[in-house]
């Protein structure tokens, strides 16, 4: 894995960790979108969906965990912090979509994977 790929994974972990309840993720533009009518319109125009969000979150977490297991020293400690913060962001995203049981279930699975892998 190149340094650029590692930085991209860390960037995505940090993006997820900054979510608050109500926020959406643009997986295409790698940005957080607040809950607003303009967000709803832009997500519709650009084809962003809940499914895209789950795939983005799951892939990012799995890549982050893979990087974590291959890391050592300070890099490993930093990744651990990023993964823990990411877990908090996933919980916030779960609250955002609390009325969508499939979304909640898929995000619960991501949280459980993180918990198992990190032992926390």
pLDDT in tens, 73-116: 999 999 999 999 999 999 999 999 999 999 999 999 999 999 99
- What is the extent of the structural domain holding 16? 3-118
Structural domains in the chain (count):
1
Global confidence as pTM:
0.93
35, 23 Cβ separation under 8 angstroms: yes
23, 36 Cβ separation under 8 angstroms: no
As given in the structure block, the two tokens for residue 40 are: 């709803």
């Amino acid at each position: 894995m190149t340094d650029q790929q590692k930085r991209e994974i860390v960037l995505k972990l940090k993006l997820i960790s900054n979510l608050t309840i109500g926020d959406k993720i643009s997986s295409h533009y790698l940005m957080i979108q607040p809950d607003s009518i303009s967000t709803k319109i832009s997500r519709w125009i650009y084809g962003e969906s809940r499914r895209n969000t789950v795939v983005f979150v799951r892939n990012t977490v799995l890549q982050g965990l893979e990087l974590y297991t291959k890391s050592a020293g300070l890099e490993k400690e930093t990744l651990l912090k990023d993964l823990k913060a990411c877990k908090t962001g996933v919980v916030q995203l779960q609250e955002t979509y609390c009325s969508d049981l499939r979304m909640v279930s898929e995000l619960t699975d991501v949280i459980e994977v993180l918990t198992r892998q990190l032992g926390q």
